[in-house]
Copies of this chain bind each other. A is one copy, B any other.
Amino acid sequence: MKEIENQNIEKFIAMVKDSNVCMLITSEKNSENLSGRPMGINKIEEDGTMWFFTKASSYKVEEIEESRKVSIAISNESNQNYLMINGTATLVNDKAKMKELWSSIVKAWFPLGLEDPDMTLIKVVPNEVNYWDSSSSTMVMLFNVIKAIVTGKEYEEGEHGKIDFQ
């Protein structure tokens, strides 16, 4: 089982790495509407955790402060990668982590560099990932952490060998 599970995480990471951009979807404040904007994915870690740089003064930061439940839609027509990710966002104002994730691409958005006071990180831990399987013309679940929890199976962040894949 563990081998299949790791294959799913690896497939997820490979699909994300194949896309330069995603739509980060948050809940609008005082509204039932969703808001979304294109974001470059700075890094995806081996356990699926995703990192983004953003302006601390942006609406999306206010929205995440209000509700940490976010979704990420990836829609890549050129390679037919379509992913829908549900997860939990955390605002991380950690200069050491920013330094680790810093790149020349980020610099284009933050010309002041790492000392920019209006810069923060968004960390998204996915709890459910679905992708489009073109062979079956349907969305297929890659993994669902919530289900692992409610079915009483153990799950610890980072221990993706224990995730209950569908």
Residues of A at the B interface (CB closer than 8 Å) are 20-23, 25, 31-38, 59, 69, 71, 73-78, 82, 84, 86, 109, 127-128, 130, 132, 137-139, 146
Contact A23 B78 (CB under 8 A): no
Number of copies: 2
- The listed residue (B20, B23, B78) touching A73 by CB distance below 8 A is B23
A78 to B69, CA, bound (A): 29
Assess the A38–B128 pair: CB atoms within 8 A. Answer: no
Quote the shortest CB–CB distance from A115 to chain B (angstroms): 20
Residues of B close to A31: CB separation below 8 A? 146
Chain B residues contacting A73 (CB-CB under 8 Å) are 23, 25, 36, 73, 75
Cβ-closest 9 pairs across A and B: A36-B84, A33-B86, A38-B82, A75-B75, A23-B73, A34-B71, A73-B73, A37-B139, A23-B75
- Partner of A21 from the list B21, B22, B23, B77 (CB cut-off 8 Å) is B77
Contact B84 A37, beta carbon cutoff 8 Å: yes
Cross-chain contact B37 with A132 (CB below 8 angstroms): yes
Residues of B within 8 A of A132 (CB): 37-38
